[in-house]
Structure 1
Amino acid sequence: MDKDKLLLSVIAILLPPVAVFLHRGMGGPLLLNILLCLLFYLPGILHALWVVNRR
């Protein structure tokens, strides 16, 4: 795991929408992550970690 993914993983745990925005930019994944964070924080964290570590 390189330093960028490690840093994004830490940000994904603390601020999931920020990590998704930094990794993918504006778009569907960001809106989905914001919705998941509003409904309940844990799904937002899991989605952000999945988006950051998917590739």
Structure 2
Amino acid sequence: MGQILVLICSILLPPLDVLLKHGLDRDFWINLILTLIFFVPGVIHAIYVNFLR
């Protein structure tokens, strides 16, 4: 159940999800920039950071 909530948050608010999981580190700033440039790369990066790494 918890993984589903993380996935939903990764899709709706990628920078917030990365911030809650990893804090204000390099991954958050990369995700914020990707999300501001275009939303889909931010979502992909959030899923990668939270599930695959």
TM over 0.5: yes
The alignment yields a C-alpha RMSD, in angstroms, of: 1.1
- What residue ranges of structure 1 are gaps of 5+ in the alignment? none
TM, length-normalised to structure 1 = 0.87
CA contact (8 A) 1:11 1:19 kept: yes
Deviation beyond 3 Å, 4+ runs, structure 1: none
Q: What residue in structure 2 maps to residue 38 of structure 1?
A: 36
Cα distance in structure 2, aligned partners of 1:54 and 1:23: 13
TM, length-normalised to structure 2 = 0.89
Q: Percent identity between the aligned chains? A: 36
Between 1 and 2, higher relative CO (CA 8 Å, sep ≥ 6) is seen in 1
Matches within 5 A, 1:14-25: 14-25=12-23
